[in-house]
């Protein structure tokens, strides 16, 4: 899954895709992932450093593809255009 990608950003995007499809709640334009997800947990699952994961998540937030609302994560479906099948 995420570990098959060479680039860290691809690993995070594939990981988010997998999490959205398995534990996310489908809301029309986005997925909602409840409370348990942290940047440290994402970095551990993707096999990258927490610092790198934090930079990638910050980029995705700047692009309005990921939003952290209190403890929940909102992930735009536009993030997965060519990644999730």
Question: Which region holds residue 26: left if phi is over 0, alpha if psi is between -120 and 50, else beta?
Answer: beta
Domain span including residue 47: 2-80
Question: Which residue numbers in the chain have pLDDT < 50?
Answer: 1
- Does residue 20 sit within a domain? yes
pLDDT of residue 70: 84
Cβ(83)–Cβ(17) below 8 Å:
yes
Cβ(60)–Cβ(52) below 8 Å:
no
Which CATH number do you get for residue 57? 1.10.10.10
Total count of domains within the chain? 1
Nearest to 36 by CA among 27, 45, 47, 26: 45
- Does residue 85 sit within a domain? no
Quick: pLDDT tens for 17-38: 999 999 999 998 999 998 788 9
pLDDT of residue 25: 93
């Amino acid at each position: 899954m995420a570990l098959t990608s060479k680039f860290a950003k691809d690993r995070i995007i594939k990981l988010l895709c997998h999490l959205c499809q398995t534990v996310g709640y489908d809301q029309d334009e986005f997925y909602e992932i409840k409370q348990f997800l942290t940047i440290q947990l994402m970095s551990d699952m993707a096999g990258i450093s927490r610092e790198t994961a934090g930079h990638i998540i910050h980029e995705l937030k700047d692009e309005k593809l990921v939003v952290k609302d209190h403890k929940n994560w909102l992930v735009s479906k536009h993030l997965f255009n060519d990644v999730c099948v």
